[in-house]
Amino acid sequence: MAKSPKIKVWILFNEDLEAPTAEAYEVRRFVSEGKKMGITVEVYKPEQFDLLVDDEVRDTVMIDSKAHTLPDFLLPRTYVIDTGYFALAVIRQLEHMGVRVFNGSSTIESVADKLHTHQILAENHLPTPSTMLAKFPVNMKLIEETLGFPVVVKTLMGVNGSGVFLIDSPEAFHDLMELIGETQPNILLIFQEFISKSKGRDVRLFVVDGKVIASMERNAKPGGFKANYSQGGSVKEFHPDDEAIRLAIETARTLNIQIAGIDLLFTEDGYTICEANTFPGFKGLESACNVNVPEEIFNAMIRRIQKEQSMLDDMTSKGDTKESLEV
């Protein structure tokens, strides 16, 4: 059996490592699990990087004004909406310098835009709730005729269940739009068909490099609507059927996500895709399922390097064979 390669992983994270958040806890899990596996894991904030674009400097990057040798992998664990352009610029720079990235900058950027995500999925004939982008002032009659009430209202780039509202009636819709129009008139909103069978519950399938490693059902607090663990929802292990697994894997493949949290809603005849996530949390997943998420991700990285090395060995071998024949 081939010995696992020694690899170095950088994690891009915009909080303090000891912060009392689920996100910081998960990054600490990567660090501790990496140590157990003999993997070097280093954590940096986007603002620590000094980006120099130079066609001659291809093996180092400046961090805190000092040159650092590039890692084998970059693992972004910071939301684009929190860090803006700079984090994406760091990810792009390392990509262009040949660093393998789970997940890549173009994937992060497109999936952060919820409407764009649904556009891509619909283009590929994957089931999603009917979704509409509207501008202020919102045409309530059009929303009612197209999507009906209740209707789900989402900010275009919210995460972890933030910026999501369930509006039951035209009156409540009018009140919310009036409030938003007075306080944030330039905010971009999408309006989405309400899937009644899935009210207060959904399924999260965690996909790593094309494989579902674990799944959980999430349920909202009594009387609540949002099932997110980060919003106080409860979780339990879910045993997905073939259709749920197929949808999760196909969604991740279509959106080119190596590490994905795919959220499915229950429908009368199966499932529909609610959202895809490129920075999926896993604290709740590990509490509900017998799974070690950092280990699964690190093993996927090791397999990627081993595959690349095997392909390189095959090419070298074929080249040697050709030279022998020519001699």
Question: What is the tens place of the pLDDT at every residue in 64-84?
Answer: 999 999 999 999 998 766 667
Residue 96 has pLDDT above 70, yes or no: yes
What is the CATH topology of the domain spanning 198-288? D-amino Acid Aminotransferase; Chain A, domain 1 (3.30.470)
Mean pLDDT of 49-64: 88
- Give the pLDDT confidence score for residue 327 in this predicted structure: 45
Residue 212: C-alpha distances to residues 125, 298, 326 (Å) = 21, 15, 47
Residue 120 has pLDDT above 90, yes or no: yes
Tell me the per-residue pLDDT of 243-280, one tens digit each, with 9 for 90 and over: 999 999 999 999 999 999 999 999 999 999 999 999 99
Lowest-confidence range among 18-27, 51-60, 76-85, 274-283? 76-85
Supply the CATH classification number for the domain 128-194.
Answer: 3.30.1490.20
Residue 182 has pLDDT above 90, yes or no: no
Residue 199 has pLDDT above 70, yes or no: yes
Tell me the per-residue pLDDT of 299-320, one tens digit each, with 9 for 90 and over: 999 999 999 988 887 777 776 5
Cα separation, 282 vs 308, whole angstroms: 28
Residue 204 has pLDDT above 90, yes or no: yes
- Give the pLDDT confidence score for residue 230 in this predicted structure: 54
117 pLDDT band (50/70/90 cuts)? very high
- Give the pLDDT confidence score for residue 7 in this predicted structure: 94
Residue 250: C-alpha distances to residues 10, 159, 212, 255, 282 (Å) = 28, 22, 11, 8, 21
- Give the pLDDT confidence score for residue 58 in this predicted structure: 80
The mean pLDDT value of the chain amounts to: 89
CATH topology match: 8-104 vs 198-288: no
Residue 282 has pLDDT above 80, yes or no: yes
Domain at 8-104: CATH architecture = 3-Layer(aba) Sandwich (3.40)
- Give the pLDDT confidence score for residue 323 in this predicted structure: 52
Lowest-confidence range among 1-15, 83-97, 118-132, 149-163? 149-163
Residue 285 has pLDDT above 80, yes or no: yes
Tell me the per-residue pLDDT of 121-175, one tens digit each, with 9 for 90 and over: 999 999 999 999 987 778 889 999 999 999 999 887 766 556 788 999 999 988 8
Residue 2 has pLDDT above 60, yes or no: no
- Give the pLDDT confidence score for residue 209 in this predicted structure: 96
Residue 322 has pLDDT above 60, yes or no: no
- Give the pLDDT confidence score for residue 3 in this predicted structure: 58
The domain segmentation of the chain, as residue ranges, is 8-104, 128-194, 198-288
